[in-house]
A and B are shown apart, each in its own frame.
Chain A
Amino acid sequence: MLPLDARNQLAMNSPKMFSRIIFAGLDIRKLLSKTALIGGCGGLGVIVGEILARTGIGKLILIDRDIVEEENFNRLIFDRDDIGQPKAMCLAKKLESIRNSGEIESKFHLKTEAYQEDVVAWMDLEELIGKSDIIITCFDNEAARIELNAYAVALNKPLIDGGTSENALRGTVITVLPGKTPCLECYWSNETLIPIDDSDPEEEDLKTSILKVPCGASLATTMNIIGSLQADQVLKILLEYGELIPQIRISLEDKLSLSTFHSTRRPGCPACGDL
């Protein structure tokens, strides 16, 4: 965190949009030199992306395989004009328009790279993770998360994972510091990764279910809290302040709750067991 007297000096020499951030003590010079990779530009990705862009991150690498559809409107940023466009490209464009302006010096501009790709078995992924300072996973499926986790652990990059439950009222943020905190594969062993869905009481007609439920439930309320907590952990890691928490869980069900966990690494984990 910046000392009090340095804040005024830095605020004077920086664009006005960063003044409040500098007064909070965050050193945007450090942030401007950092690159974050956001995997998944849905409900969580757009929140994390927007917070980081507005806070002063230097570069964002955005990856998402999907296009914007009407069902995404319950969350933020995307609007009707974006329908049919790739989510990653669309988000990059919007974030650049927030940050970059002719009145602001180019060294304060946000740089973006956007890819409409499926990360599973994608050969460029390793290179992109290699040039990032931090990885943020905001996917809706385990396979993509585990993929980024494997490269992040191998390349010793911190990873912040966010996810919400199927009823969209609970959420988890997991912070992975390779070799120090449990990685995502530590949490999902072979026995527990695959959900056994024998409890569903509905005997739904298949075709109806395909047409009705293209994606799990999501609520902007839960997504915003989880996305904000992810961005908070990112800032703490990049600016080296505060305490990092391996696992944060929130619930907006009957009672509002926020709990933190300090879990241990799984011996023999295929991703981080050798570290």
Chain B
Amino acid sequence: MDDLFNIKFVRGKIVGHWDWTFEIPLFRTVARVGKPGWKERLEEELEKIEYLKRLKKEDNLFSKVEQDPKNPRIFYVEGVSDNNEKIRFNLRLPIRYPFVPPYAEEYYFGQYSFYSYSDHGRVACLDKINNRWNKEGRHGIAHFLAMLGYYTALARHNVNIRSLTRKTRKRRKIRK
């Protein structure tokens, strides 16, 4: 049983998992970095990051998210994993953000990088995040971190992400 990511194992099989992405409301403001509306968008980003932190209060995976004071398109993320490993990576916002997801630079978990931007989506985290990203720009950093934590958790447990994603979509309807 892994409480950190709300994944429950019974006889070696996953019986339940939780994805916080669905809990975070969609963004009201859609604006590119530095363009009109970005100030309001940034306020909403910070608000939703706090919201995510409250949702994930049981873990400290992404407990600190700070914007670079000089570069508005870089955020520093810090946290602690369930193995008490310190996690630290940069979040870069591409020029087309929020229509495309941010990406996690130097995001390593243990010895593996479960996330990459250069393999045409064949690494699970990026592939899944890209596919699920709201193309109208209504997902933000908080949604990204929620997805990143969720898929990293699955990846670390060597779970077949593709089949789980399908299940997740079905579960979403059931929860409503």
| A-to-B contact residues, CB < 8 Å | 118, 120-121, 123, 140-143, 146-147, 150, 166, 185, 190-191, 193-198, 200, 203, 205-207, 209-210, 213-216, 270
Contact = CB atoms under 8 A, between A and B. Distances in A.
Contacts of A141: 117-118
Given A120-B103, A206-B155, A209-B124, A193 B96 contact: yes
Secondary structure type dominating chain B contacts: loop
Interface string B138-176: 000000000000000011001111110000000000000
Interface of B: 32, 70-71, 73-74, 92-96, 99-100, 103, 105, 112-114, 116-124, 127, 130-131, 133, 135-137, 154-155, 158-163
A140 B120 CA distance: 8
Contacts of B95: 120, 143, 146-147, 150
B119 A215 contact: yes
Nearest to A191: B135
B70 to A, nearest CB: 7
Q: 10 nearest interchain CB pairs? A: A121-B73, A143-B94, A121-B92, A190-B99, A216-B120, A150-B95, A120-B92, A140-B118, A194-B130, A206-B124
Contact of A166 (B120, B154, B162): B120
Given A193-B100, A194-B130, 4 more contacts: A120-B103, A121-B92, A190-B136, A194-B135
A183 B117 CA distance: 22
A178 to B, nearest CB: 15
Contacts of A216: 118-120, 122
A130 B99 CA distance: 26
